[in-house]
Amino acid sequence: MKRFAVLFSGQGSQYVGMGKKLFERDGSTRALFETASQTLGIDMAHLCFEGKAEDLNRTENTQPALLLCSVADYLSFRTRTGLTPAFMAGHSLGELSALVASEAISLEDGLRLARARGLAMSRCGMAGKAGMHAVTKLEQSKVEQVCSATSGFRSEFVLANLNAPGQFVLSGSLAGLDSAGAALKEAGGTIIPLRVSGPFHSPFMAKAAEEFAAVIANIKLQQPQVPVVANINARLHGAPADIVQALVQQITSPVLWSDTMKLLQREGVEVYLEAGPGEVLKKLALSNISLANAFALDQEADRLAIEHLFGADIRAMKERPSVVGKCMAIAVCTQNNNWNEDEYQSGVVEPYRQLKSMQERLEHAGEEPTTIDMRQALDYLGQIFATKGAAQDERNWRLTQIIESTGTQDVLSNYSFHAAA
């Protein structure tokens, strides 16, 4: 199978009507919107599909709406194809979406964080006094040279987004942006003021970062089940505490998108799929990597192209047993060496019932198991192994058998059963 990454849209990609077609054809997406509406106390379907653009474009609304639509886009793709990416990345707010999709953060907590992030950033907006300008037609070295020689660099304006060769964004006070813009124009660049509500990814967002830090301190995070690239350093996220620090720091730090794309390319990624509204990141993938295979899940023609590209892999995944079903089969055929009736009831019968219940839930919903489902199923099987007295060699062999037969190497390669007593 071709190695692929999923990229999650950032602020600026939103539009009224985003997610509506997916909502209408996908029951799971409708359930996600209902959860989001209950979590935030906002009618998210109305906001995304029928509301006024000015309401959707308010940062505190834009960010949770983008997260919701992007995660729904990805989960629909995964359910439809059974495929799991090798990596994830997201641009600015999209990094939070990627962490939700990778199961490092729950959907509900992700929505709360997106809302809190948007509110904090809007309060630091400095309306009419600061903003962001795009810079094109200059190489990075030239942009950095001109900016560093311009009065106010780092104090009044900074490089906020390094998106692609010849495509950068400055953030700061209007006076600082005007000075930098004049110098960059003289050097042959083109300056495009962006329609944003504040100087994002700059030191002017320091209070927003502090406010967001107080909120995320109360959120439970775990290790991503799919590796996620951090904006602040273009490296893979590590422990939950490091994720928290990176998300807070991201608010005042530049988005290193070009470096992110270089990392993914070095890791052997061949295909880039954008999850979320529009196709901004698809275009940036093409700008960063010549002849890249890049597609946007929001585009009907692209979805058809993806299904054609991964056709054989999708068919193979649908023919493979699920991890849950495989665990059930192995649980039944594992030899029992424990004849204590009470232990057998609690350590074999009960976890098998849990496996069966999980399988029935997934079949009823027409969904593939999430990584959390898979690991939970393996935990149940591990409990059965321990109770039946299976040797560690058998446990290891069975785990290898499960991973290979279900094609889940990317998401379960680090899993291990507890050692036999």
Helical (H) or strand (E) element with 329: helix 323-333
Calculate helix-pair angle for 392-406, 323-333, nearest 10 degrees. Answer: 150
CA–CA separation, 90 and 341 (whole Å): 51
Which residues make beta-bridge pairs with 273?
Answer: 6, 295
- Three-state SS for 276? coil
DSSP 236: B
Q: Helix (H) and strand (E) counts for the chain?
A: 21, 9
What is the dihedral angle through the alpha carbons of 122, 124, 126, 132, rounded to the nearest 10 degrees?
A: -80
CA–CA separation, 261 and 285 (whole Å): 7
The dihedral built from the CA positions of residue 355, 356, 361 and 362, taken in this order, carries a sign that is positive
CA–CA separation, 215 and 281 (whole Å): 28
Active-site residue numbers? Answer: 92, 201
Let me know: does 330 contact 383? Beta carbons within 8 Å: no
Bridge-based pairing of strands 4-8 and 157-164 is: unpaired
Contacts with 55 (C-beta within 8 Å, 6 or more apart), sequence order: 47, 61
Instruction: Report residue 172: phi and psi, to 5°.
Output: 160, -165
CA–CA separation, 108 and 90 (whole Å): 18
CA–CA separation, 277 and 285 (whole Å): 16
Let me know: does 163 contact 169? Beta carbons within 8 Å: yes
Two tokens at 281? 């990141």
CA–CA separation, 118 and 59 (whole Å): 5
DSSP 348: I
Residues in the chain, how many? 421
CA–CA separation, 222 and 135 (whole Å): 37
Distances in Å between the Cα of 111 and the Cα atoms of 14, 106, 195 are 16, 9, 24
CA–CA separation, 33 and 81 (whole Å): 21
